[in-house]
């Protein structure tokens, strides 16, 4: 199956505002001038397809430092889903990276050193895989905790979430996003989730809980989360 060769501009209300009220960093870093429109050329409709040559892949267990090591504290979760294009075709062979806070709401990162929540020496906290023939990814982790945004006057807490970075099949299908959990009370007040004007757009950021009967294993809580990246293919595979 050939990669997408046609990319249209994003549907604006389904994507977040760039300047977000109350999110100070967005005020300081968002360009102040309008963006220039450019034609898509070959550079934009191509992208690295052989990144596994460059990046180490096959790390899909965030819940422990290495195989056989003790598990991190927290509720074990199994997160899986499909990477699709705008015609619902699977995006195969794409590098997909995830990272998240531990069960107490703290990251494995030097920039989170001011966080009073405890570190967990058994928590790895990040993973990288390649999507399979069906566009599917899967990883094992612990449910991330919520955490307060430092120095924020209105006591803004980020709801539990997992960060995703997706390379896709072309420069234009690059996507960095976050996955939220269903039924979390903090979802409704999160400034970053609320930055997406369209309600259906916000819903696309929230995973679905997987009924127990549909899970192959009984020791995890399952979540299903499909992700759609931009792009149309000239010759889509028939159904």
Q: Which of 7, 107, 137, 180 is catalytic?
A: 107
Which is nearer to other proteins, 8 or 209 (by Cβ)? 8
Per the rule left: phi > 0, alpha: psi between -120 and 50, beta: everything else, 194 is alpha
How far from the centroid of its chain's Cα atoms is residue 167's Cα? Answer: 11
**Distance (Å, whole) CA 127 – CA 205:** 19
Q: Does 177 participate in binding other proteins (rule CB under 8 A)?
A: yes
Task: Select the residue interacting with other proteins from 76, 108, 130, 215 (CB under 8 A).
Answer: 108
Query: Known catalytic residue: 161?
Result: yes
Of 71-79, 131-139, 211-219, 231-239, the window that binds other proteins (rule: CB under 8 A) is 231-239
Of 71-79, 133-141, 167-175, 213-221, the window that binds other proteins (rule: CB under 8 A) is 167-175
Question: Dihedrals φ, ψ of 200, to 5°?
Answer: -65, -35
Question: Dihedrals φ, ψ of 159, to 5°?
Answer: -70, 165
- Contact flags string 74-103 toward other proteins, x per CB under 8 A: ----------xxxxxx-------x-x-x--
Residue in the block written with tokens 């267990």: 61
Which is nearer to other proteins, 5 or 132 (by Cβ)? 5
Best CA proximity match to 10, nearest among 234, 172, 194: 172
Residue in the block written with tokens 């107490």: 104
Cα–Cα–Cα angle for 159, 105, 209, nearest 5°? Answer: 50
Task: Select the residue interacting with other proteins from 66, 67, 68, 110 (CB under 8 A).
Answer: 110
Task: Select the residue interacting with other proteins from 77, 91, 195, 207 (CB under 8 A).
Answer: 195
Which residues are catalytically annotated?
107, 147, 158, 161, 163
């Amino acid at each position: 199956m050939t990669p997408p060769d046609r990319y249209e501009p994003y549907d604006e209300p389904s994507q977040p505002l760039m300047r977000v009220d109350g999110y100070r960093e967005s005020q300081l870093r968002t360009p102040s001038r309008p963006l220039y429109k450019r034609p898509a050329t070959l550079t934009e409709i191509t992208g690295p397809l052989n990144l596994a040559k460059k990046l180490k892949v096959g790390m899909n267990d965030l819940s422990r430092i290495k195989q056989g090591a003790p598990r991190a504290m927290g509720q074990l979760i199994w997160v899986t889903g499909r990477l699709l294009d705008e015609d619902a075709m699977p995006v195969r062979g794409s590098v997909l990276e995830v990272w998240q806070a531990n069960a107490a709401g703290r990251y494995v990162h030097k920039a989170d050193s001011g966080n009073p929540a405890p570190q967990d020496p058994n928590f790895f906290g990040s993973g990288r895989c390649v999507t399979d023939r069906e566009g599917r990814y899967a990883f094992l982790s612990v449910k991330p905790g919520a955490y307060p945004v430092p120095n924020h006057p209105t006591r803004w807490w980020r709801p539990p979430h997992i960060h995703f970075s997706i390379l896709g099949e072309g420069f234009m299908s690059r996507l960095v996003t976050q996955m939220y959990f269903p039924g979390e009370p903090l979802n409704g007040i999160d400034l970053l989730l609320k930055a997406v004007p369209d309600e259906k757009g916000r819903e696309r950021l929230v995973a679905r809980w997987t009924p127990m009967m549909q899970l192959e294993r009984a020791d995890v809580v399952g979540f299903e989360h499909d992700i759609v990246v931009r792009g149309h293919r000239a010759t889509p595979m028939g159904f």
